[in-house]
Amino acid sequence: MTNFRDKVVIITGGAGGIGKVTAEKFLDQEAKVVLVDLFADQLAQTKEELKPRGEVHIIQADVSNEEDVKKYVRETVDRYGKIDVFFNNAGIEGKVAPITEQNVEDLDKVLAVNVRGVFLGLKHVLAVMKDQGYGAVINTSSVAGLHGSPGVTPYIASKHAVVGLTKATAIEFAPYNIRVNSVHPSPANTRMMRSLEAGMGIDEATLAKSIPLGRYGEAPDVANLVLFLADDKSDFLTGGQYRVDGGMGAL
């Protein structure tokens, strides 16, 4: 399959986890992939690992900094002339503690990446897509963006905000042939989940029991959904929240 041949795809949070695996899948379908991440060393290592699959360009950037966001958008357009797909994926989990033990700094740290970072990416990528008259955007939220959970209030709030950003921009940019959707993973086998497990004092086997299918999600589960939403075959889907959660949302 080469549905993405010569398509230009930006992936934030692209140096590892879901971002990296999604990049692999786009490269396997002959896309040109731009990976954006805060961690330059990890980005460089990921590029070396992915180079045999196809064309990979890396940009070190802080998604919460508007000048950095302008940089990764401008550099992509200068290099390739367009942005076909934007996987707005960067995020952090934040502190695990009751709200009574969270402070404003804990809240602001999470919102800076998970909300301001998503907002800024949308602001600057959608401007390019509007001018070119097409595009597909996929924002990473979480099952936490669709319901509540104790101990991670800033994270829950941030992922609910991603839903609002998705719905608002989907309506605003539909007239320009631009689609915006969000994906909502369950707990998945990523570095972020290891951190959350440690903070909650719970292991994978125990937490997996809360998932009807009885296991954590894997990065390819999410990546497959992202590619579906990015594909022209899903060109009547916008403003939606798509769960990849092993049935958690049905509980």
Which residues have a catalytic role annotated?
Answer: 155
Q: What one-character DSSP code corresponds to residue 229?
A: H
Neighbours of 5 (CB within 10 A): 10
Q: What is the CA radius of gyration of the chain?
A: 17
Contacts of residue 216, defined as CB under 8 A and 6 or more positions apart, other chains included, come to 186, 187, 188, 189, 193, 204, 207, 208, 246
3 state SS of 34:
strand
Distance from C-alpha of 97 to C-alpha of 119, rounded to nearest angstrom: 26
Reported residue count of the chain is: 251
Contacts of residue 65, defined as CB under 8 A and 6 or more positions apart, other chains included, come to none
- Report in angstroms the alpha-carbon separations of 105 from 111, 112, 122, 129, 250: 10, 10, 24, 34, 34
Half-sphere CA count of 79, side-chain side, radius 13 A = 20
Residue type (1 letter), 131: D
Cα torsion 144, 148, 149, 155 to 10°: value is 50
Distance from C-alpha of 21 to C-alpha of 229, rounded to nearest angstrom: 16
Tokens of 133: 């008259």
